[in-house]
Amino acid sequence: MKVVEINEVEKTYHDTEVEVRAVNGVTLSFEKGDFAVIVGPSGSGKTTLLNLIGGLDQPTAGEIIVAGHRLSELKPSELIDFRMEHVGFVFQSYNLIPVLTAAENVGFIMSLQKWPKEKRMARTGELLEAVGLADRHNSRPSQLSGGQQQRVAVARALAPRPEFILADEPTANLDSKSAETLLDIMEKLNREEEMTFIFSTHDVRVMKRARRVITLEDGKVVSDERTNHTV
């Protein structure tokens, strides 16, 4: 089943005098359960592509369809609701709301979606357990390590069962051990919850663990390989 379809997508920035074609005619699709990574040199358009898929930005040409929604047809406020309902985001850093505890952060999107309290608490507990932070319910982000913060962010993204999770360089600020732990957790959730993950990365450790590696260069897909890598 296709979760994301990208057809002939282009994104051109002309903020500065020069025109930058950050994404240049990309056609791709992602299947349910994918554990895919987008790699490529700095400036190759990874972040831009992820932003387009996540509905944070609109393409200058082409079409993106997510879970039956043509993103170009959504109004800005509908896009916000679309993201809340269908996309999980994990950013490189500053993912969490500093004044909320780990548990409150995990429950945040569910409370935006007005889940009943009981269900929300149960799901929060389950996920904090899954990311190995069952004992840190009441810790504030400032009391957690970088790796622990990223794990809370993954739990938050996953909590409302989105269509897929987008993670732009989630391990960039982590040491090897924390990065490995985070990847272990994401793999486990990919398996157990059948959650689709789409990353971008520079990190070879991440590339090695992916089952699909898409390489971008100058905004174009230069290769798309499925490795029969199993965990």
Ligand X SMILES: Nc1ncnc2c1ncn2[C@@H]1O[C@H](COP(=O)(O)OP(=O)(O)OP(=O)(O)O)[C@@H](O)[C@H]1O
CB of 47 to another protein, least distance (A): 8
Give start and end residues of each alpha helix (H) in the chain.
46-53, 76-86, 102-112, 117-130, 146-158, 176-192, 204-209
Whole-angstrom distance, CA of residue 195 vs CA of residue 96: 21
Residue closer to another protein (CB basis): 99 or 231: 99
Q: Which of 1, 15, 98, 228 binds ligand X (CB under 6 A)?
A: 15
User: Contact residues for another protein (CB under 8 A)?
Assistant: 51, 54, 56-57, 77, 80-81, 83-85, 89, 91, 94-95, 97-100, 104, 107-109, 111-112, 156-157
Taking each helix axis as running N to C, give the angle between helix 117-130 and helix 102-112, from 0 to 180 degrees, rounded to the nearest 10: 130
Residue closer to ligand X (CB basis): 16 or 142: 16
Give the distance between the most distant pair of CA atoms in the chain.
54
Whether the Cβ atoms of residue 43 and residue 23 lie closer than 8 Å to each other: no
In the bound complex, which residue of the shown chain has the CB atom lying closest to Mg ion?
Answer: 47
Q: Is 162 helix (H, G, I), strand (E, B) or coil?
A: coil
CB of 160 to another protein, least distance (A): 9
- Beta-bridged to residue 195, according to DSSP, are none
Q: Which of 24, 44, 47, 150 binds Mg ion (CB under 5 A)?
A: 47
Residue closer to another protein (CB basis): 97 or 222: 97
Which residues contact ligand X (rule: CB under 6 A)?
13, 15, 20, 22, 40, 42-48
